[in-house]
Amino acid sequence: MKQNSKYIFGTGTKLVLALTAFCFLAFFSQPSIAASKASQTLGFVVTTWNFALNETKFADECPMGMNPGYDEIWWRGLSKDDRAKYTDNGLKTRLDRYQFAIRRGKNGQDVAMNPTSADAPPLLLAQGPASYGMNLDGTDDGRATSKSCKHDKYVGLDGAPAVDNQLYRLLGCVYGYQSYGQYQVNANENRKSNGLGMTLIEITDVDDLKNDNDVTVTFYRSIDQYTLNGSGGFVAYSSYRTDTANGKPRYNSRVKGKILDGVVSTESGDVNLPFYGNYTYMNQLVRDMRMRLELSEDGVSARGMVAGYYGVDQLTFYACGVGPIASSGFSDCPAIYKAAYEIADGHPDPQTGKCTTLSSAFNFAAVSAFIVHPESATVAKTTPNPVSRLLSALGIDGN
């Protein structure tokens, strides 16, 4: 070892040659070396996002029909004279009489803003044994634990046992929340047309697209609107910048995951997701969230489901805040609010023991995208390419 050192460093000419060769290689070969060693990154932009409700063709899950909305409950409660008076003998549309229907509180309050100010008919809950979702509480029978309240389990639509989805039980018979219902369709359309509340999913540390037992999944919010083609379809492989404040992403919840046979699944974690729909913006916190994402064969698109606990207050904020659009969504906030707390199954309040979150699941679709981080934009700007670096080393301005 000592002799070798003497041999190498003892010859000035060889040292100069060696350093020159090293520098030459370093200038020209760094990108390819890095590329061969670096893991891949997959990026997606979420295109549609829906409450995961098990919807059968003839609404078997709703044997008593769909729940009544504000207008019907209000109208049924009026005298015959008032019905004629406030609806102009039935000629006023639901939207035109929403201003009356919504104020059915005991003292004329807006029941969407004050859901406890009016009596509500019992919410018709979704029936049946099957649902989307995952086993979130870890029990086989939905018994109460330190982290959950007693509830009934479902069989997963994929056959998985002991699935939890109290949010489906709650909203499964509310028309507006069906995949074809006013709230869902309008929320997706809102995001598509104005670009608010768009979620980006980035999967990093991917060594193998089919099977990889250690990847990282990060959720961001986009500040760019969707790139759409002439038919209104989502264009894959478009670039979306992440939303940042003071150089840091506003949304960057991160969970570990793995890829098995091309399906990405994550571990459990509290995840913040951006949301905009029905003219309401909010931060969606999904607690103990897990994601399953199935990539298409060509890698252009993906379909996924997230399951986790959704706060009752968070749901109320959204469900009660949709405004006049409720006139065609057919929901009743007081009924949803009351039933939500009755069937909540997660995160008991330490003081009262009453559960504060609902097990839930959401279906979503996504297309592949390039996710642009401000720091990568900075790096690209300040790090010259190899040719520029060589020219710069030679004293020539290559930029």
Partner 1 sequence: MTFARGILVGLYVLLVSPYAFAQDSRDFYAEMAAEWQTKYTESPGRGEINFHVDLTKLTASWNITFKDLSGPPTSIKLYGPAQPGANGAAILTFAPKGSKSPLKGSAPLTEAQVQYLLYGWTYITITTEKFPLGEIRGQLDVRAPQVVTQ
Comparing CA positions, the residue from 123, 148, 14 lying closest to residue 68 is 123
Q: Does 61 bind partner 1 (CB under 8 A)?
A: yes
On the 0-12 / 13-18 / 19+ scale of CB atoms within 10 A, 83 is middle
Which letter does DSSP use for residue 27 in this model? H
Q: Does 63 bind partner 1 (CB under 8 A)?
A: yes
Residue 157 or 365 with smaller CB distance to partner 1:
157
Smallest gap from residue 137 Cβ to partner 1 (A) = 21
Q: Does 177 bind partner 1 (CB under 8 A)?
A: no
- With CB under 8 A as the contact rule, the residue among 29, 40, 99, 127 that binds partner 1 is 127
Question: In this structure, are residues 315 and 110 in contact, taking their beta carbons and an 8 Å threshold?
Answer: no
Smallest gap from residue 85 Cβ to partner 1 (A) = 9
Smallest gap from residue 250 Cβ to partner 1 (A) = 39
Residue 172 or 197 with smaller CB distance to partner 1:
172
| d(C-alpha 169, C-alpha 342), whole Å | 11
* Side chain identity at residue 308, one-letter code: G
Sign of CA dihedral 111, 114, 118, 121: positive
Q: Does 379 bind partner 1 (CB under 8 A)?
A: no
Smallest gap from residue 361 Cβ to partner 1 (A) = 14
Q: Which residue has the tokens 């639901």?
A: 94
Footprint on residues 66-105 left by partner 1 (CB under 8 A): 66, 68-69, 71-72, 75-76, 80-81, 83-84, 87, 89-91, 94
- With CB under 8 A as the contact rule, the residue among 37, 58, 231, 396 that binds partner 1 is 58
Residue 94 or 290 with smaller CB distance to partner 1:
94
Residue 85 or 354 with smaller CB distance to partner 1:
85
Q: Which residue has the tokens 């706060």?
A: 311
> How far is residue 141 CA from its own chain's centroid?
28
145 Cβ neighbours under 8 A, 6+ residues apart: 137, 138, 139
Smallest gap from residue 154 Cβ to partner 1 (A) = 9
| d(C-alpha 281, C-alpha 93), whole Å | 27
Q: Does 233 bind partner 1 (CB under 8 A)?
A: no
Footprint on residues 241-270 left by partner 1 (CB under 8 A): none
6 Cβ neighbours under 8 A, 6+ residues apart: none
| d(C-alpha 299, C-alpha 193), whole Å | 25
* Side chain identity at residue 143, one-letter code: R
Smallest gap from residue 289 Cβ to partner 1 (A) = 24
Residue 94 or 241 with smaller CB distance to partner 1:
94
- With CB under 8 A as the contact rule, the residue among 60, 189, 270, 313 that binds partner 1 is 60
Task: Name the token pair of 172.
Answer: 């499964």
Residue 68 or 197 with smaller CB distance to partner 1:
68
Smallest gap from residue 61 Cβ to partner 1 (A) = 7
Comparing CA positions, the residue from 203, 306, 307 lying closest to residue 256 is 203
Q: Does 59 bind partner 1 (CB under 8 A)?
A: yes
The partner residues of 304 in beta bridges, in order of sequence, read 293, 364
Q: Does 175 bind partner 1 (CB under 8 A)?
A: yes
Smallest gap from residue 43 Cβ to partner 1 (A) = 34
Footprint on residues 143-172 left by partner 1 (CB under 8 A): 155, 157
Smallest gap from residue 87 Cβ to partner 1 (A) = 7
How many of the other CB atoms lie within 10 Å of CB of 15? 12
Tell me the number of residues near partner 1 by CB under 8 A.
Answer: 35
**For the chain, how long is the longest CA-to-CA vector?**
110
Which letter does DSSP use for residue 324 in this model? G
- With CB under 8 A as the contact rule, the residue among 102, 125, 130, 286 that binds partner 1 is 130
Smallest gap from residue 171 Cβ to partner 1 (A) = 15
Which letter does DSSP use for residue 208 in this model? -
Q: Which residue has the tokens 């006049």?
A: 324
How many of the other CB atoms lie within 10 Å of CB of 379? 10
Name the site residues for partner 1 (rule: CB under 8 A).
Answer: 54, 56-66, 68-69, 71-72, 75-76, 80-81, 83-84, 87, 89-91, 94, 127-130, 155, 157, 175, 330
